[in-house]
Structure 1
Amino acid sequence: MEKEKIKVFDTLLSYIEIGEGEPLVILHGWGANIESIMPIVNCAPKKFKVYAYDAAGFGDSEEPKDALSTEDYERYLVEFLRLKNIDKATFIGHSFGGKTLSIFAAKHPERVNKLVLVDASGVIPKRTLKYYLKVYSFKFLRGIYTKLNFFKDREEVLKKFYEKFGSDDYQNSKGIMRKTFVKVVNEATTQYFDKIIAPTLLVWGENDDATPLYMAKVFESKIKDSGLVVLKGAGHFSYIDDYSTFSAIINSFLR
Protein backbone atom coordinates (compact mmCIF):
# COMPACT_ATOMS: atom_id res chain seq x y z
CA MET A 1 0.00 0.00 0.00
CA GLU A 2 1.52 3.28 -1.13
CA LYS A 3 0.23 6.49 0.38
CA GLU A 4 0.03 9.75 -1.54
CA LYS A 5 0.03 13.30 -0.18
CA ILE A 6 -2.54 16.04 -0.57
CA LYS A 7 -2.68 19.54 0.91
CA VAL A 8 -6.00 20.08 2.67
CA PHE A 9 -6.24 23.65 3.94
CA ASP A 10 -2.81 24.18 5.52
CA THR A 11 -2.25 20.53 6.45
CA LEU A 12 -0.50 17.85 4.39
CA LEU A 13 -2.56 14.65 4.58
CA SER A 14 -1.60 11.11 3.59
CA TYR A 15 -4.23 9.19 1.65
CA ILE A 16 -4.87 6.18 -0.55
CA GLU A 17 -7.21 5.53 -3.45
CA ILE A 18 -7.71 1.94 -4.62
CA GLY A 19 -9.70 0.44 -7.48
CA GLU A 20 -12.12 1.84 -10.00
CA GLY A 21 -15.81 2.65 -9.87
CA GLU A 22 -18.15 4.51 -7.55
CA PRO A 23 -16.42 6.45 -4.76
CA LEU A 24 -16.37 4.91 -1.27
CA VAL A 25 -14.77 7.03 1.47
CA ILE A 26 -13.66 5.38 4.73
CA LEU A 27 -12.71 7.33 7.87
CA HIS A 28 -10.70 5.88 10.76
CA GLY A 29 -11.23 6.48 14.47
CA TRP A 30 -9.46 8.59 17.07
CA GLY A 31 -5.78 7.82 17.50
CA ALA A 32 -5.84 5.50 14.47
CA ASN A 33 -4.81 5.68 10.82
CA ILE A 34 -5.35 4.17 7.38
CA GLU A 35 -3.67 0.93 8.42
CA SER A 36 -6.25 0.38 11.17
CA ILE A 37 -9.14 0.40 8.69
CA MET A 38 -7.52 -1.71 5.97
CA PRO A 39 -9.79 -4.66 6.90
CA ILE A 40 -12.74 -2.45 5.89
CA VAL A 41 -10.95 -1.31 2.74
CA ASN A 42 -10.21 -4.92 1.80
CA CYS A 43 -13.80 -6.11 2.18
CA ALA A 44 -15.33 -3.34 0.05
CA PRO A 45 -17.19 -4.60 -3.05
CA LYS A 46 -15.17 -4.39 -6.27
CA LYS A 47 -17.57 -1.87 -7.79
CA PHE A 48 -16.05 0.88 -5.61
CA LYS A 49 -13.03 3.11 -5.83
CA VAL A 50 -11.97 3.39 -2.19
CA TYR A 51 -10.55 6.55 -0.64
CA ALA A 52 -9.11 6.77 2.87
CA TYR A 53 -6.88 9.31 4.55
CA ASP A 54 -4.98 9.82 7.79
CA ALA A 55 -6.91 12.59 9.50
CA ALA A 56 -5.00 15.71 10.56
CA GLY A 57 -2.67 14.83 13.43
CA PHE A 58 -2.80 11.06 12.88
CA GLY A 59 -0.80 8.48 10.98
CA ASP A 60 1.49 10.04 8.40
CA SER A 61 -0.46 13.30 8.14
CA GLU A 62 0.74 16.60 9.56
CA GLU A 63 -0.65 18.02 12.77
CA PRO A 64 -3.00 20.98 12.39
CA LYS A 65 -1.74 24.42 13.31
CA ASP A 66 -4.55 24.93 15.86
CA ALA A 67 -6.70 22.66 18.02
CA LEU A 68 -9.58 21.23 15.98
CA SER A 69 -13.21 20.46 16.84
CA THR A 70 -15.30 17.66 15.37
CA GLU A 71 -16.85 20.28 13.09
CA ASP A 72 -13.36 21.17 11.87
CA TYR A 73 -12.65 17.54 10.99
CA GLU A 74 -15.90 17.52 9.03
CA ARG A 75 -14.67 20.57 7.10
CA TYR A 76 -11.45 18.72 6.29
CA LEU A 77 -13.58 15.94 4.80
CA VAL A 78 -15.55 18.41 2.67
CA GLU A 79 -12.35 19.95 1.37
CA PHE A 80 -10.79 16.55 0.64
CA LEU A 81 -13.85 15.61 -1.42
CA ARG A 82 -13.63 18.90 -3.32
CA LEU A 83 -9.97 18.36 -4.12
CA LYS A 84 -10.66 14.82 -5.35
CA ASN A 85 -13.72 15.94 -7.36
CA ILE A 86 -16.07 13.67 -5.44
CA ASP A 87 -19.59 15.08 -5.59
CA LYS A 88 -21.40 12.09 -4.09
CA ALA A 89 -20.21 8.90 -2.43
CA THR A 90 -20.87 6.08 -0.02
CA PHE A 91 -19.24 6.57 3.39
CA ILE A 92 -18.02 4.30 6.18
CA GLY A 93 -16.72 5.64 9.49
CA HIS A 94 -15.37 3.88 12.56
CA SER A 95 -15.60 5.49 16.01
CA PHE A 96 -14.55 9.16 15.68
CA GLY A 97 -14.73 8.76 11.90
CA GLY A 98 -18.40 7.87 12.34
CA LYS A 99 -18.87 10.91 14.55
CA THR A 100 -17.43 13.11 11.80
CA LEU A 101 -19.69 11.49 9.22
CA SER A 102 -22.82 12.05 11.33
CA ILE A 103 -22.22 15.80 10.89
CA PHE A 104 -21.36 15.51 7.20
CA ALA A 105 -24.36 13.33 6.31
CA ALA A 106 -26.71 15.77 8.06
CA LYS A 107 -25.22 18.89 6.48
CA HIS A 108 -24.84 17.43 2.99
CA PRO A 109 -27.60 14.83 2.51
CA GLU A 110 -27.45 15.20 -1.26
CA ARG A 111 -23.85 13.95 -1.26
CA VAL A 112 -24.42 10.64 0.54
CA ASN A 113 -25.56 7.48 -1.26
CA LYS A 114 -25.31 5.16 1.72
CA LEU A 115 -23.80 5.50 5.18
CA VAL A 116 -22.17 2.91 7.45
CA LEU A 117 -21.35 3.83 11.04
CA VAL A 118 -19.22 1.31 12.94
CA ASP A 119 -18.99 1.63 16.74
CA ALA A 120 -19.40 5.37 16.22
CA SER A 121 -18.94 8.04 18.86
CA GLY A 122 -21.06 11.18 19.17
CA VAL A 123 -23.37 10.23 22.04
CA ILE A 124 -22.41 11.64 25.45
CA PRO A 125 -21.94 8.77 27.95
CA LYS A 126 -24.54 8.16 30.64
CA ARG A 127 -23.60 9.76 33.95
CA THR A 128 -23.78 6.77 36.30
CA LEU A 129 -22.82 6.60 39.97
CA LYS A 130 -19.59 4.89 38.91
CA TYR A 131 -18.86 7.83 36.61
CA TYR A 132 -19.36 10.42 39.36
CA LEU A 133 -17.25 8.41 41.81
CA LYS A 134 -14.48 8.30 39.23
CA VAL A 135 -14.73 12.04 38.52
CA TYR A 136 -14.76 13.09 42.18
CA SER A 137 -11.93 10.69 43.02
CA PHE A 138 -9.95 12.19 40.15
CA LYS A 139 -10.63 15.74 41.36
CA PHE A 140 -9.74 14.79 44.95
CA LEU A 141 -6.49 13.22 43.80
CA ARG A 142 -5.73 16.31 41.71
CA GLY A 143 -6.28 18.55 44.74
CA ILE A 144 -3.93 16.48 46.91
CA TYR A 145 -1.33 16.39 44.15
CA THR A 146 -1.33 20.17 43.68
CA LYS A 147 -1.15 20.83 47.43
CA LEU A 148 1.83 18.53 47.81
CA ASN A 149 3.54 20.50 45.04
CA PHE A 150 2.28 23.96 46.05
CA PHE A 151 5.77 25.46 45.83
CA LYS A 152 6.06 24.57 42.11
CA ASP A 153 4.55 26.23 39.03
CA ARG A 154 0.83 25.31 39.06
CA GLU A 155 0.53 24.93 35.28
CA GLU A 156 3.51 22.58 35.17
CA VAL A 157 2.18 20.59 38.14
CA LEU A 158 -1.23 20.10 36.48
CA LYS A 159 0.42 19.12 33.21
CA LYS A 160 2.40 16.37 34.95
CA PHE A 161 -0.69 15.24 36.86
CA TYR A 162 -2.78 14.78 33.71
CA GLU A 163 0.12 13.04 31.97
CA LYS A 164 0.29 10.58 34.85
CA PHE A 165 -3.39 10.06 35.69
CA GLY A 166 -5.32 11.18 32.59
CA SER A 167 -7.09 8.82 30.17
CA ASP A 168 -5.09 6.67 27.73
CA ASP A 169 -6.11 8.90 24.81
CA TYR A 170 -4.99 11.97 26.75
CA GLN A 171 -1.67 10.41 27.72
CA ASN A 172 -1.03 9.20 24.17
CA SER A 173 -1.49 12.68 22.73
CA LYS A 174 0.81 15.66 22.98
CA GLY A 175 0.87 19.36 22.14
CA ILE A 176 -1.83 20.52 19.75
CA MET A 177 -3.38 17.02 19.53
CA ARG A 178 -3.82 16.91 23.29
CA LYS A 179 -5.68 20.22 23.09
CA THR A 180 -7.72 18.80 20.21
CA PHE A 181 -8.61 15.72 22.26
CA VAL A 182 -9.78 17.84 25.18
CA LYS A 183 -11.90 19.84 22.73
CA VAL A 184 -13.61 16.95 20.93
CA VAL A 185 -14.03 14.37 23.69
CA ASN A 186 -17.21 15.89 25.12
CA GLU A 187 -18.73 17.12 21.85
CA ALA A 188 -22.02 15.41 21.06
CA THR A 189 -23.38 15.13 17.53
CA THR A 190 -26.83 13.78 18.44
CA GLN A 191 -28.42 17.03 17.24
CA TYR A 192 -27.54 15.96 13.69
CA PHE A 193 -28.92 12.42 13.73
CA ASP A 194 -32.51 13.20 12.75
CA LYS A 195 -31.25 15.23 9.76
CA ILE A 196 -29.56 12.19 8.20
CA ILE A 197 -31.71 10.83 5.35
CA ALA A 198 -29.33 8.40 3.64
CA PRO A 199 -29.90 4.65 4.16
CA THR A 200 -27.72 3.98 7.20
CA LEU A 201 -26.24 0.73 8.48
CA LEU A 202 -25.13 0.68 12.11
CA VAL A 203 -22.63 -2.05 13.04
CA TRP A 204 -21.73 -2.46 16.70
CA GLY A 205 -19.75 -4.77 18.92
CA GLU A 206 -21.89 -6.38 21.61
CA ASN A 207 -19.13 -5.80 24.18
CA ASP A 208 -17.96 -2.38 22.98
CA ASP A 209 -16.71 -0.59 26.11
CA ALA A 210 -15.60 2.62 24.35
CA THR A 211 -18.95 3.40 22.68
CA PRO A 212 -21.33 0.98 24.45
CA LEU A 213 -24.27 -0.63 22.71
CA TYR A 214 -26.84 1.74 24.24
CA MET A 215 -25.24 4.49 22.13
CA ALA A 216 -25.99 2.51 18.97
CA LYS A 217 -29.65 2.47 19.95
CA VAL A 218 -29.63 6.28 20.19
CA PHE A 219 -28.33 6.43 16.62
CA GLU A 220 -30.97 3.92 15.50
CA SER A 221 -33.84 5.74 17.20
CA LYS A 222 -32.95 9.13 15.68
CA ILE A 223 -31.76 8.24 12.16
CA LYS A 224 -34.94 7.56 10.21
CA ASP A 225 -33.72 5.08 7.59
CA SER A 226 -31.33 3.05 9.76
CA GLY A 227 -30.82 -0.50 10.91
CA LEU A 228 -28.59 -1.92 13.63
CA VAL A 229 -26.52 -5.11 13.41
CA VAL A 230 -24.86 -6.27 16.63
CA LEU A 231 -21.79 -8.50 16.33
CA LYS A 232 -21.86 -11.02 19.17
CA GLY A 233 -18.84 -11.03 21.44
CA ALA A 234 -17.13 -8.21 19.53
CA GLY A 235 -15.64 -5.08 21.09
CA HIS A 236 -14.97 -1.55 19.88
CA PHE A 237 -13.11 -2.83 16.82
CA SER A 238 -16.00 -5.06 15.87
CA TYR A 239 -14.97 -5.18 12.23
CA ILE A 240 -11.76 -6.96 13.28
CA ASP A 241 -13.22 -9.08 16.09
CA ASP A 242 -15.79 -10.67 13.76
CA TYR A 243 -14.39 -9.89 10.33
CA SER A 244 -16.21 -12.60 8.39
CA THR A 245 -19.66 -11.50 9.61
CA PHE A 246 -18.77 -7.83 9.17
CA SER A 247 -17.58 -8.41 5.62
CA ALA A 248 -20.75 -10.30 4.69
CA ILE A 249 -22.97 -7.56 6.16
CA ILE A 250 -21.08 -4.76 4.40
CA ASN A 251 -21.20 -6.52 1.04
CA SER A 252 -24.90 -7.21 1.39
CA PHE A 253 -25.71 -3.60 2.33
CA LEU A 254 -23.51 -1.93 -0.28
CA ARG A 255 -24.59 -4.19 -3.14
Structure 2
Amino acid sequence: MHRFVPWNSQPLEAWAEKYAEGRFIDLAGRRTHFIERGRGRPVVLIHGFNLDHHSWIKNLDALAAHFKVYAPDLWGHGYSTREPIAYGYDLFEEQIRLFLDALDIQSASLIGHSMGGGTSIVLGLRHPDRVDKLVLVDASGIPTRLPFQAKIFRLKGVAEFLLSLPTDRIRRMNLADIWIHDRGALTEDIYRNLMGFQKIEGTTQALLAILRADFFNTLEAEIKALGGSGIPTMIIWGREDAALPVGNAKTMKDFIPGSRLEILEKAGHLANFDQADTFNELVIDFLNSAA
Protein backbone atom coordinates (compact mmCIF):
# COMPACT_ATOMS: atom_id res chain seq x y z
CA MET A 1 0.00 0.00 0.00
CA HIS A 2 1.29 3.46 -0.91
CA ARG A 3 1.94 5.91 1.90
CA PHE A 4 -0.72 8.62 1.98
CA VAL A 5 0.77 12.01 1.12
CA PRO A 6 -1.06 14.77 3.03
CA TRP A 7 -2.95 17.32 1.00
CA ASN A 8 -1.48 20.81 0.68
CA SER A 9 1.89 19.62 1.97
CA GLN A 10 4.43 19.25 -0.83
CA PRO A 11 6.83 21.96 -2.05
CA LEU A 12 5.86 23.10 -5.54
CA GLU A 13 9.33 22.69 -7.01
CA ALA A 14 9.80 19.16 -5.69
CA TRP A 15 6.32 17.98 -6.69
CA ALA A 16 6.63 19.52 -10.15
CA GLU A 17 10.04 17.94 -10.69
CA LYS A 18 8.50 14.59 -9.86
CA TYR A 19 5.23 14.81 -11.78
CA ALA A 20 5.05 17.77 -14.17
CA GLU A 21 5.03 16.63 -17.81
CA GLY A 22 5.19 19.96 -19.62
CA ARG A 23 7.22 23.12 -19.92
CA PHE A 24 7.49 26.18 -17.70
CA ILE A 25 7.44 29.83 -18.66
CA ASP A 26 7.75 33.00 -16.60
CA LEU A 27 4.92 35.50 -17.07
CA ALA A 28 5.25 38.80 -15.19
CA GLY A 29 7.26 37.10 -12.47
CA ARG A 30 4.86 34.19 -12.03
CA ARG A 31 5.53 30.70 -13.31
CA THR A 32 3.12 28.97 -15.67
CA HIS A 33 3.27 25.26 -16.47
CA PHE A 34 1.79 24.13 -19.78
CA ILE A 35 1.44 21.16 -22.10
CA GLU A 36 2.24 21.65 -25.80
CA ARG A 37 1.36 19.15 -28.50
CA GLY A 38 0.71 18.90 -32.24
CA ARG A 39 1.27 21.35 -35.04
CA GLY A 40 -0.81 23.76 -37.09
CA ARG A 41 -3.13 26.56 -36.08
CA PRO A 42 -2.89 27.37 -32.35
CA VAL A 43 -5.58 26.27 -29.92
CA VAL A 44 -5.42 27.08 -26.20
CA LEU A 45 -7.31 24.92 -23.71
CA ILE A 46 -8.23 26.77 -20.50
CA HIS A 47 -9.31 24.53 -17.63
CA GLY A 48 -11.84 25.32 -14.93
CA PHE A 49 -11.73 25.84 -11.19
CA ASN A 50 -10.38 23.03 -9.00
CA LEU A 51 -8.75 21.32 -11.99
CA ASP A 52 -5.66 21.68 -14.18
CA HIS A 53 -4.48 20.62 -17.65
CA HIS A 54 -5.42 17.02 -16.84
CA SER A 55 -9.09 17.95 -17.32
CA TRP A 56 -8.31 17.74 -21.07
CA ILE A 57 -6.79 14.27 -20.76
CA LYS A 58 -9.30 12.78 -23.23
CA ASN A 59 -9.08 15.67 -25.69
CA LEU A 60 -5.44 16.68 -26.04
CA ASP A 61 -4.25 13.99 -28.41
CA ALA A 62 -7.35 14.11 -30.63
CA LEU A 63 -7.07 17.88 -31.03
CA ALA A 64 -3.29 17.77 -31.42
CA ALA A 65 -3.74 15.56 -34.49
CA HIS A 66 -5.19 18.65 -36.21
CA PHE A 67 -3.86 21.72 -34.38
CA LYS A 68 -1.03 23.09 -32.27
CA VAL A 69 -2.53 22.66 -28.81
CA TYR A 70 -1.50 24.40 -25.60
CA ALA A 71 -2.94 23.54 -22.18
CA PRO A 72 -1.67 25.91 -19.47
CA ASP A 73 -2.27 25.57 -15.74
CA LEU A 74 -3.93 28.70 -14.42
CA TRP A 75 -2.23 30.36 -11.45
CA GLY A 76 -3.20 28.62 -8.22
CA HIS A 77 -3.71 25.32 -10.08
CA GLY A 78 -1.60 22.50 -11.48
CA TYR A 79 2.12 23.18 -11.34
CA SER A 80 1.81 26.94 -11.80
CA THR A 81 2.52 29.63 -9.20
CA ARG A 82 0.64 29.82 -5.92
CA GLU A 83 0.71 33.05 -4.01
CA PRO A 84 -1.69 35.39 -2.20
CA ILE A 85 -2.92 37.43 -5.16
CA ALA A 86 -6.26 38.87 -6.23
CA TYR A 87 -7.69 35.90 -8.07
CA GLY A 88 -10.37 36.63 -10.64
CA TYR A 89 -11.09 36.93 -14.34
CA ASP A 90 -8.82 39.96 -14.64
CA LEU A 91 -5.86 37.92 -13.39
CA PHE A 92 -6.56 34.85 -15.52
CA GLU A 93 -7.25 36.91 -18.63
CA GLU A 94 -3.90 38.61 -18.09
CA GLN A 95 -2.17 35.25 -17.67
CA ILE A 96 -3.51 33.86 -20.94
CA ARG A 97 -2.79 37.10 -22.80
CA LEU A 98 0.79 37.14 -21.49
CA PHE A 99 1.05 33.46 -22.42
CA LEU A 100 0.11 34.25 -26.02
CA ASP A 101 2.61 37.12 -26.08
CA ALA A 102 5.44 35.03 -24.64
CA LEU A 103 4.97 32.29 -27.24
CA ASP A 104 4.53 34.83 -30.05
CA ILE A 105 0.99 33.65 -30.78
CA GLN A 106 -0.77 36.52 -32.51
CA SER A 107 -4.18 34.90 -32.30
CA ALA A 108 -5.58 31.52 -31.29
CA SER A 109 -8.83 29.66 -30.84
CA LEU A 110 -9.75 29.33 -27.18
CA ILE A 111 -11.52 26.36 -25.62
CA GLY A 112 -12.53 27.23 -22.08
CA HIS A 113 -14.21 25.05 -19.50
CA SER A 114 -16.26 26.53 -16.65
CA MET A 115 -14.08 29.27 -15.07
CA GLY A 116 -11.80 28.85 -18.09
CA GLY A 117 -14.82 29.60 -20.25
CA GLY A 118 -15.40 32.80 -18.33
CA THR A 119 -11.74 33.68 -18.80
CA SER A 120 -12.10 33.07 -22.54
CA ILE A 121 -15.15 35.34 -22.67
CA VAL A 122 -13.27 38.17 -20.98
CA LEU A 123 -10.23 37.79 -23.23
CA GLY A 124 -12.39 37.63 -26.35
CA LEU A 125 -14.29 40.75 -25.36
CA ARG A 126 -11.20 42.78 -24.44
CA HIS A 127 -8.93 41.55 -27.23
CA PRO A 128 -11.07 40.18 -30.08
CA ASP A 129 -8.11 40.44 -32.45
CA ARG A 130 -6.33 37.75 -30.40
CA VAL A 131 -9.17 35.22 -30.62
CA ASP A 132 -10.00 33.31 -33.81
CA LYS A 133 -12.83 31.19 -32.42
CA LEU A 134 -14.35 30.41 -29.03
CA VAL A 135 -15.55 27.10 -27.65
CA LEU A 136 -17.32 27.57 -24.31
CA VAL A 137 -17.70 24.32 -22.37
CA ASP A 138 -20.16 24.44 -19.45
CA ALA A 139 -18.89 27.99 -19.10
CA SER A 140 -19.26 30.18 -16.04
CA GLY A 141 -20.70 33.66 -16.39
CA ILE A 142 -24.50 33.55 -16.25
CA PRO A 143 -25.81 34.43 -12.73
CA THR A 144 -26.58 31.10 -11.09
CA ARG A 145 -27.44 29.76 -7.64
CA LEU A 146 -24.53 27.87 -6.16
CA PRO A 147 -24.76 24.11 -5.62
CA PHE A 148 -24.86 23.01 -1.98
CA GLN A 149 -21.25 21.80 -1.99
CA ALA A 150 -19.97 25.21 -3.08
CA LYS A 151 -21.83 26.89 -0.24
CA ILE A 152 -20.26 24.49 2.27
CA PHE A 153 -16.77 25.16 0.98
CA ARG A 154 -17.23 28.90 1.32
CA LEU A 155 -17.56 28.53 5.09
CA LYS A 156 -14.28 29.50 6.70
CA GLY A 157 -12.86 26.82 8.94
CA VAL A 158 -15.24 24.13 7.70
CA ALA A 159 -13.65 23.93 4.24
CA GLU A 160 -10.13 24.07 5.63
CA PHE A 161 -10.93 21.19 7.98
CA LEU A 162 -12.59 19.00 5.35
CA LEU A 163 -9.83 19.53 2.80
CA SER A 164 -7.12 18.70 5.33
CA LEU A 165 -8.54 15.28 6.24
CA PRO A 166 -6.16 12.40 5.39
CA THR A 167 -8.56 10.82 2.92
CA ASP A 168 -9.44 10.80 -0.77
CA ARG A 169 -13.14 10.61 0.03
CA ILE A 170 -13.93 14.34 0.01
CA ARG A 171 -12.34 15.07 -3.36
CA ARG A 172 -13.53 11.85 -4.95
CA MET A 173 -17.13 12.58 -3.93
CA ASN A 174 -16.83 16.14 -5.22
CA LEU A 175 -15.66 14.94 -8.64
CA ALA A 176 -18.42 12.34 -8.84
CA ASP A 177 -21.18 14.65 -7.62
CA ILE A 178 -20.31 17.74 -9.64
CA TRP A 179 -17.79 17.19 -12.43
CA ILE A 180 -18.07 13.67 -13.87
CA HIS A 181 -21.44 12.13 -14.70
CA ASP A 182 -20.26 8.55 -15.24
CA ARG A 183 -18.84 7.52 -11.86
CA GLY A 184 -17.42 4.37 -13.41
CA ALA A 185 -15.14 6.54 -15.54
CA LEU A 186 -13.50 7.96 -12.42
CA THR A 187 -10.77 5.33 -12.26
CA GLU A 188 -7.92 5.47 -9.78
CA ASP A 189 -5.54 6.79 -12.46
CA ILE A 190 -7.98 9.48 -13.59
CA TYR A 191 -8.58 10.53 -10.00
CA ARG A 192 -4.85 10.78 -9.26
CA ASN A 193 -4.27 12.81 -12.41
CA LEU A 194 -7.10 15.24 -11.71
CA MET A 195 -6.38 15.76 -8.01
CA GLY A 196 -2.61 15.20 -7.78
CA PHE A 197 -1.77 18.91 -7.91
CA GLN A 198 -3.70 19.46 -4.68
CA LYS A 199 -0.87 17.82 -2.76
CA ILE A 200 1.17 21.00 -3.38
CA GLU A 201 1.37 23.38 -0.44
CA GLY A 202 -0.63 26.54 -0.91
CA THR A 203 -3.23 24.86 -3.11
CA THR A 204 -6.00 24.79 -0.50
CA GLN A 205 -5.50 28.48 0.26
CA ALA A 206 -5.49 29.38 -3.45
CA LEU A 207 -8.60 27.36 -4.31
CA LEU A 208 -10.59 28.67 -1.37
CA ALA A 209 -9.52 32.24 -2.15
CA ILE A 210 -10.80 31.77 -5.70
CA LEU A 211 -14.07 30.22 -4.55
CA ARG A 212 -14.69 32.89 -1.91
CA ALA A 213 -13.92 35.73 -4.33
CA ASP A 214 -17.35 34.94 -5.80
CA PHE A 215 -16.63 36.07 -9.36
CA PHE A 216 -17.56 32.97 -11.39
CA ASN A 217 -21.05 33.93 -12.53
CA THR A 218 -20.71 37.69 -12.90
CA LEU A 219 -20.36 38.04 -16.67
CA GLU A 220 -23.88 38.61 -17.96
CA ALA A 221 -23.04 42.05 -19.38
CA GLU A 222 -19.77 40.79 -20.84
CA ILE A 223 -21.45 37.84 -22.53
CA LYS A 224 -24.03 40.14 -24.10
CA ALA A 225 -21.24 42.43 -25.28
CA LEU A 226 -19.32 39.46 -26.67
CA GLY A 227 -22.29 38.85 -28.95
CA GLY A 228 -21.29 41.94 -30.90
CA SER A 229 -17.64 40.96 -31.29
CA GLY A 230 -18.15 38.76 -34.33
CA ILE A 231 -16.02 35.95 -32.88
CA PRO A 232 -17.40 32.58 -34.08
CA THR A 233 -18.57 30.81 -30.93
CA MET A 234 -19.70 27.31 -30.09
CA ILE A 235 -21.31 26.50 -26.74
CA ILE A 236 -21.10 22.92 -25.46
CA TRP A 237 -22.92 21.77 -22.33
CA GLY A 238 -23.53 18.57 -20.42
CA ARG A 239 -27.21 17.77 -20.06
CA GLU A 240 -26.62 16.53 -16.49
CA ASP A 241 -24.40 19.42 -15.36
CA ALA A 242 -24.93 19.70 -11.57
CA ALA A 243 -22.87 22.89 -11.20
CA LEU A 244 -24.25 25.10 -13.99
CA PRO A 245 -27.72 24.10 -15.25
CA VAL A 246 -28.23 23.36 -18.90
CA GLY A 247 -30.62 26.31 -19.10
CA ASN A 248 -27.56 28.55 -18.86
CA ALA A 249 -26.41 27.21 -22.21
CA LYS A 250 -29.60 28.37 -23.90
CA THR A 251 -29.38 31.76 -22.21
CA MET A 252 -25.78 32.11 -23.35
CA LYS A 253 -26.73 31.25 -26.92
CA ASP A 254 -29.44 33.93 -26.84
CA PHE A 255 -26.87 36.44 -25.62
CA ILE A 256 -24.44 35.56 -28.45
CA PRO A 257 -26.32 35.79 -31.77
CA GLY A 258 -25.15 33.32 -34.36
CA SER A 259 -23.47 31.04 -31.82
CA ARG A 260 -23.79 27.28 -32.15
CA LEU A 261 -25.16 25.24 -29.24
CA GLU A 262 -24.50 21.54 -28.63
CA ILE A 263 -26.01 19.70 -25.64
CA LEU A 264 -24.22 16.45 -24.82
CA GLU A 265 -26.35 13.69 -23.31
CA LYS A 266 -25.12 11.69 -20.32
CA ALA A 267 -22.56 14.37 -19.55
CA GLY A 268 -21.98 16.39 -16.41
CA HIS A 269 -20.06 19.59 -15.74
CA LEU A 270 -16.93 18.16 -17.39
CA ALA A 271 -18.72 17.43 -20.66
CA ASN A 272 -15.46 17.22 -22.62
CA PHE A 273 -14.50 14.25 -20.43
CA ASP A 274 -17.85 12.46 -20.16
CA GLN A 275 -18.49 12.50 -23.92
CA ALA A 276 -14.96 12.92 -25.20
CA ASP A 277 -15.40 11.35 -28.63
CA THR A 278 -18.43 13.45 -29.49
CA PHE A 279 -16.81 16.55 -28.02
CA ASN A 280 -13.63 16.06 -30.02
CA GLU A 281 -15.53 15.58 -33.28
CA LEU A 282 -17.66 18.67 -32.69
CA VAL A 283 -14.68 20.86 -31.83
CA ILE A 284 -12.51 19.69 -34.73
CA ASP A 285 -15.40 20.27 -37.15
CA PHE A 286 -16.10 23.73 -35.72
CA LEU A 287 -12.49 24.87 -35.71
CA ASN A 288 -11.98 23.64 -39.25
CA SER A 289 -15.18 25.23 -40.58
CA ALA A 290 -15.27 28.57 -42.35
CA ALA A 291 -16.00 31.50 -40.05
TM-score by length of 2: 0.71
Q: Which residue of 2 aligns with 1:146?
A: none
Question: How far apart are the structure 1 equivalents of 2:82 and 2:258?
Answer: 36
Is the 1:63–1:177 contact (alpha carbons within 8 Å) kept by the matching residues of 2?
Answer: no
Is the 2:30–2:81 contact (alpha carbons within 8 Å) kept by the matching residues of 1?
Answer: yes
Paired residues, number: 228
Q: Which runs of 5+ in 1 are unaligned?
A: 139-157
Is the 1:105–1:112 contact (alpha carbons within 8 Å) kept by the matching residues of 2?
Answer: yes
Is the 1:70–1:187 contact (alpha carbons within 8 Å) kept by the matching residues of 2?
Answer: no
Aligned to 1:98, the other structure's residue is in SS state helix
Q: Which residue of 2 aligns with 1:238?
A: 271
Quick one: which of 232, 250, 253 aligns to 2:283? 250
Q: Which residue of 1 aligns with 2:213?
A: 183
Offset at 1:165? 7.8
Q: Which residue of 2 aligns with 1:121?
A: 140
Amino acid of the residue matched to residue 249 of structure 2?
Answer: A
Question: How far apart are the structure 1 equivalents of 2:223 and 2:27?
Answer: 27
Is the 1:27–1:94 contact (alpha carbons within 8 Å) kept by the matching residues of 2?
Answer: yes
Q: Does 1:77 align with 2:96?
A: yes
Is the 2:58–2:273 contact (alpha carbons within 8 Å) kept by the matching residues of 1?
Answer: yes
Q: Does 1:16 align with 2:16?
A: no
Deviations along 1:204-225, one digit per CA (max 9) or x if unpaired, are 1101011110111121011123
Q: Which has the larger radius of gyration?
A: 1
Cα pair distance change 1:15/1:162, threshold 3 Å: closer
Q: Which residue of 2 aligns with 1:145?
A: none
Is the 1:194–1:224 contact (alpha carbons within 8 Å) kept by the matching residues of 2?
Answer: no
| Cα RMSD (Å) | 2.7
Is the 2:124–2:131 contact (alpha carbons within 8 Å) kept by the matching residues of 1?
Answer: yes
Q: Which runs of 5+ in 2 are unaligned?
A: 1-19, 164-169, 175-197
Offset at 1:177? 3.6
Greater Cα shift, 34-43 or 181-190: 181-190
Amino acid of the residue matched to residue 228 of structure 1?
Answer: L
Q: Which residue of 1 aligns with 2:238?
A: 205
Question: How far apart are the structure 2 equivalents of 1:18 and 1:221?
Answer: 34
Cα pair distance change 1:178/1:85, threshold 3 Å: same
Name segments (4+ residues, structure 1) moved above 6 Å: 165-169
Identity of aligned residues (%): 31
Q: Which residue of 2 aligns with 1:27?
A: 46
Quick one: which of 43, 46, 71 aligns to 2:62? 43
Aligned to 2:101, the other structure's residue is in SS state helix
Question: How far apart are the structure 2 equivalents of 1:161 and 1:20?
Answer: 46
Aligned to 2:77, the other structure's residue is in SS state coil
Offset at 1:119? 0.8
Cα pair distance change 1:165/1:33, threshold 3 Å: closer
Amino acid of the residue matched to residue 157 of structure 2?
Answer: K
